Amino acid sequence: MVLTLLRHAYLLPFCLLSAVLGAIWGSFLGVIIDRLPAMIVADGCADKNLFYPPSHCTHCQHTLRWWQNIPLLSWLLLRGQCAHCRQPIPLLWFLLEALSALFFAATVWVFPQPQAWLALWLLWSALLPLAVIDARHMLLPDCLTLPLLWCGLLLNLRGGWLSLQDAVVGAAAGYVFLWLLYWGYRLLRGREGIGQGDLKLVAAFGAWLGWQVLPQLLLFAAFLAILLFLLPRRDAAAAQPFGPSLCIAGGGIFILHSLLFIF
């Protein structure tokens, strides 16, 4: 209630503060995207984790100074280049920070309830890394999909967006339906057509959206996957990740339902 009143009285400062928070959090999401796949492949035996070694240039391994870690500003001040070796800093890291800043500010601008901010920020914090990691590595880590599922159940524990029963049935139905597709394709074609991570991600969306929305989710995600398949790329025969399409579809549907809920 207090945050709602303060947000109403000081909307612009709240949005600016949320943008700063989003940029900082987007920088950390970039660390997750960069380091988590290597940590999973190394099975916990990698020489680095999410917090060590400190941020450094991936080309020359030079440790960044404090001001070179400032979200958004450091990339602009350095003109997208390492200050030590002058190799380009990927634009992806700047975009992650910028998009997170915009998303955090937009949620505060549009939604008056702090619980909506929390839900949308949690969803963003899982879906953004999942989409990028799957696009780059064909991997949907359990350490992101499973907490996303439990967060969906906890948020609906007292009927936040839907009843707990619908959330539980949605999670189970999402997993079972994708599991049947997985084994049906594997028995017919002798190979995997859907990754195990996709099953858990759809189950998580079932917990957030309910079983009633699962057909819309899968149709929308399939449509997006077809569009992405038609885009020019290097290897048309290579397997295509389904996770990014699921993340865009599921996140978009949740935002749409949230907008309809408040308006």
8 A C-beta contact, residue 18 and residue 105: yes
- How much is the pLDDT for 65? 82
pLDDT recorded at residue 34: 92
Residue 123 pLDDT > 60: yes
> How far is it, in rounded angstroms, from Cα 21 to Cα 141?
25
For residue 106, is pLDDT > 60?
Answer: yes
Of 252, 153, 247, residue with least CA distance to 201? 247
What's the pLDDT at 161?
83
8 Å CB contact between 119 and 36: no
Which one, of 95, 175, 160, lies nearest residue 122 by Cα? 160
Q: Is 114 exposed, middle or buried (0-12, 13-18, 19+ CB in 10 A)?
A: middle
Q: What pLDDT does 60 receive?
A: 81
Place of tokens 């400032």: 70
Is residue 231 pLDDT above 80, yes or no? no
Q: What is the pLDDT of residue 192?
A: 78
Give the pLDDT confidence score for residue 70 in this predicted structure.
87
Least confident residue range of 105-109, 208-212, 235-239: 235-239
- How far apart (Å, rounded) are the C-alpha atoms in residues 145 and 123? 11
Mean pLDDT, the chain, integer: 89
pLDDT at residue 43 above 80? no
Q: How confident is the model at residue 51 (pLDDT cuts 50, 70, 90)?
A: confident
Tell me, rounded to whole angstroms, the distance of Cα 203 from its chain centroid. Answer: 15
Q: What are phi and psi of 209, to 5 degrees?
A: -110, -20
Q: DSSP states of 151-211 as a string?
A: HHHHHTTTTSSS-HHHHHHHHHHHHHHHHHHHHHHHHHHSS-SS-HHHHHHHHHHHHHH-G
Q: Residues, the chain, total?
A: 263
Alpha-carbon torsion, ordered 110, 115, 116, 122, to 10 deg: 130
195, two tokens: 């990754």
Lowest average pLDDT, out of 24-28, 36-40, 60-64, goes to 60-64
| Mean pLDDT, range 31-59, rounded to an integer | 80
Residue 203 is predicted with a pLDDT of 97
Query: Is the pLDDT confidence value at 81 over 90?
Result: no
pLDDT of res. 97: 96
